[in-house]
Structure 1
Amino acid sequence: MKRIVDLTLSLLALPLVIPVMCIVSLMILLTSRGGVFFRQKRVGRFNKDFTILKFRTMYKGSDRQGLLTIGGRDRRVTPVGYWLRRYKLDELPQVFNVIGGTMSLVGPRPEVRMYVEHYTPLQRQVLDVKPGVTDPASIEYINENELLEASVDPVRTYLEVVMPRKLSINLLYIQSATWRSDLLVIFRTVMAIFN
């Protein structure tokens, strides 16, 4: 049932998403060098790598300088990129990950392999389900970059505080998730972005 809901909602959203994606693509091309999309290996269901698709929000090659981006002080993020991240528009291309079956609309946000290596055996249970475009932890940590910006050691704060908390939230959610609860998470995500 979850796959049917994912496909139905994604296909219904395409007529709305495609024009926005065209405008965003043009903004990226006109304001910084490099391609429109950013592709990165993430860890998906059953601990298998897949390629996540996002709009590029950083200057070309900046991802080689570290994985975390830190709020308003991160010079690697383009001016348009800050705006895209603020409204989560950089995640729109993941509708194609959902249609392709590597992601779900709702599920634990996928991490890079380097961070997954820090998971405890219990935390690895999030890898039993498809990763999602949004999840309950994304709503709670909608301003994650600002939290990390305030930290003296953002990577350590992420690994020791933020990531374990997000994993706990998502572990609780996946134990009782239904397509109805997924719709509620989608609705709450949209509300959180615009509040």
Structure 2
Amino acid sequence: MYRHFFKAFIDITLSVLGLIILAIPMLIIALVIKCDSKGPALFKQKRLGKGQKEFTVYKFRTMCDHAFEKGGVASSEHDMRITKVGKILRKTSLDELPQMLNIIKGEMAIIGPRPILAFEFDEYKDNARYAHRYDAKPGMFCTVDIDLRATATREQQFEMDAEYVDKMSFGLDFKVFFGIIKTVVLGKNVYKEQ
């Protein structure tokens, strides 16, 4: 019952409350982003969701406009494309807050495998174990975020994602949620290259 009904109910309820409570802080973040650099406050990108179906993920923009086209995914905090405000947002994971909109739309969950770009899974598309990560909605946060975060290899991430889908429960989601808070507070492993 949890994975088929209560998880989505809890996720949507918490996201609606989160947007209400955080509406003003999120507006302030958006204004600061606009003042800090040219470009939109929100970053939108196609990612793979449940069943490997593409959807548009929302995040606060942390890099210069059109940064991905200029050099792909940022792997180091010294990447010159990351804005001053962006460094703070990434370290605190505040850039993830707009994904509450994805959750309300039914595309994501609070806890689940992180949504990745389609090409990032190309090498593993024939691996049934890793493809199991797509049997659940992607999440704002996942088990890999508790400790490894961005330093995890793709293989580590995908295995942990598959294991999460196997063991998905309220207790596990509760543990992951509060475990991530500690990781974010400590600012651990924000980038692959520390």
* TM-score tier after normalising by the smaller chain length: 0.7 to 0.9
Q: What is the DSSP-based 3-state SS (H/G/I as helix, E as strand, rest coil) of the residue aligned with 1:72?
A: coil
Q: Identity of aligned pairs, percent?
A: 32
The reply to whether residue 175 of structure 1 matches residue 175 of structure 2 is: no
Aligned to 1:76: 81
Amino acid paired to 1:189: I
Aligned to 1:150: none
| Correspondence 1:33-52 to 2 at 5 A | 33-52=38-57
Amino acid paired to 2:9: I
Q: Aligned partners of 2:111 and 2:146: how far apart in 1?
A: 12
1:21 aligned residue (19, 26, 30): 26
Q: Deviations over 1:97-130 (max 9, x none)?
A: 0011000111000110000112222201101110
| Contact 2:129/2:159 (<8 A) preserved | no
Residues matched between the structures, number: 179
| Contact 2:62/2:86 (<8 A) preserved | yes
Q: Aligned partners of 2:132 and 2:116: how far apart in 1?
A: 14
* Structure-2-length-normalised TM-score: 0.88
| Contact 2:46/2:54 (<8 A) preserved | yes
Aligned to 2:128: 121
Q: Aligned partners of 1:141 and 1:71: how far apart in 2?
A: 15
The CA deviation at 1:139 is: 1.8
What root-mean-square deviation, in Å, do the aligned CA atoms of Structure 1 and Structure 2 show?
A: 1.3
The CA deviation at 1:167 is: 1.0
Q: What is the DSSP-based 3-state SS (H/G/I as helix, E as strand, rest coil) of the residue aligned with 1:16?
A: helix
| Contact 1:43/1:116 (<8 A) preserved | no
Q: Which ranges of structure 2 fall in alignment gaps of 5 or more residues?
A: 1-5, 187-194
The reply to whether residue 133 of structure 1 matches residue 151 of structure 2 is: no
Aligned to 2:192: none
Q: Which ranges of structure 1 fall in alignment gaps of 5 or more residues?
A: 148-160
Q: What is the DSSP-based 3-state SS (H/G/I as helix, E as strand, rest coil) of the residue aligned with 1:68?
A: coil
